[in-house]
Amino acid sequence: MMRMAEEKVLVSFACQRCLQPLRLDDSFNNLSEHTLAELHLPVQNNVEIDLDSQTTSLDHFVQPCRLSDSGNGANGFMLVTDTGEVELISNQLKVKAALFDTLSGYSNIDHPLCEECTDTLIDLLEKQVELTQKDYEDYYEYLKKLEEDTQQPQLDSLENELKELEEEEKRLIIELENLQLEEEKIITAINEQETEAERLKHEEDRLWREYTRHRQDYLLTEDEYRSLECQLSYAQSQLDKLKKTNVFNATFHIWHAGHFGTINNFRLGRLPSAPVDWSEINAAWGQTALLLAALARKIGLTFERYKLVPFGNHSYIEVIAEQKELPLYGSGGFRFLWDTKFDSGMVAFLDCLQQFKEKVEEGDKDFRLPYRMNKGKIEDSSSEVNYSVKIQFNSEEQWTKALKFMLTNLKWSLAWVSSQFNSDDD
């Protein structure tokens, strides 16, 4: 509340929208009971005006208060005036407060309002009236159209349609029941199929495990098979190599070393300039006896009167009729008079070689040896000189040359046998 300095102007109310102070007309100071009764009549209580949503000029909203309840409390007014005027001003305020409470109670608009807010409210109400009038006209036109289009309902057709719908309902109910039965069957079948699928899944897992085990066995077997193939291929290559290999040539190598004939690098003979040890000579005779025995067995020859017994460096020839042994080995120095058995053994060996020659010539007329043999002697065809294989009454040089010629004949015999027979047979 305000107090003026000279003329007393009382400002007791503010606009309920913009909160501007209001100066009320003096006619509001005295209202008759008739006027108050008219104000209590209903004032379009059902019309709602949304001022906040339809205007931007009313930015403030103040909760309405009951002005008649104002007093000396927290919401009251403090009147500052002369003592004689207090009672008069208080009565006027009560009348105005009652007036504004009545207006606010019968509408959704709080009073009092200033002139600008009142004009804004009037504009909004006019727009609301225009919209309501348009709605009214639209509804009225639609009502007239409905009244014009309304006809007497066809009960028979509706009853027929109802019967058809009822029959359709029954049919659909029956169809629904059938579908429910079918659904139950399908659910049962699905459960069975799920059970079967589960069984098949376990069976599949079992088969996969079995497949994995067999696969592993197969891979191991395949590896073993490939290994055996490699071994077989290697064995076959070795066999082919052995088939192409001359066993006799590989086993018995006859060659020469100066004046000496050699067999498997053992010298056969002695010279004054090269006194070969008797252990080497005996070993050479053992290899020679073994070779001739193998060649004879190869062509199926059985010697007459003699039997070769290869026994290393102590080989000998057995005289079948006399049951005695003729050694093919010597000992001690070179003697001319006392090694008669050794000489007889060498002569018997030369006789066996002659028998081999004659046996081969029976099947192959073209077979010839480079040196002729006869009764312990070997003839040099180029000089027609005979060399004895005996030690008695013989020189070391001639004896060594006779043995060299004998080895040459034996080498030719070996070559012929190798050309006639497979190399893998004994």
pLDDT (tens digit per residue) in 182-215: 999 999 999 999 999 999 999 999 999 999 999 9
Dist CA 47 CA 129 (whole Å): 10
Q: Are residues 180 and 116 in the same domain?
A: no
Contact 331, 346 (CB under 8 A): no
Question: Quick check: is 286 in a domain?
Answer: yes
**Does the structure show a pLDDT above 50 at 55?**
no
pLDDT confidence of 377, banded at 50, 70, 90?
A: confident
Total domains in the chain come to 3
50 with 199, same domain: the answer is: no
Average pLDDT, the chain: 78
Distance between CA atoms of 78 and 295, rounded to whole angstroms?
161
Give the number of residues written for the chain.
426
pLDDT value at 31 more than 70: no
Residue 309 carries which DSSP code? E
pLDDT: which is higher, 2 or 41: 41
214-228, 233-247, 301-315 — which is least confidently predicted? 233-247
CATH number of the domain bearing residue 308? 1.10.418.40
| Same-domain pairing of 276 and 374 | yes
Where does the pLDDT of residue 337 fall: very low under 50, low under 70, confident under 90, or very high at 90 and above? very low
Half-sphere exposure of 142 (CA within 13 A, CB side): 6
- Per-residue pLDDT tens over the stretch 56-99: 444 444 444 444 444 444 444 444 444 455 565 666 677 677 77
**Which domain covers residue 308, as residue numbers?**
249-420
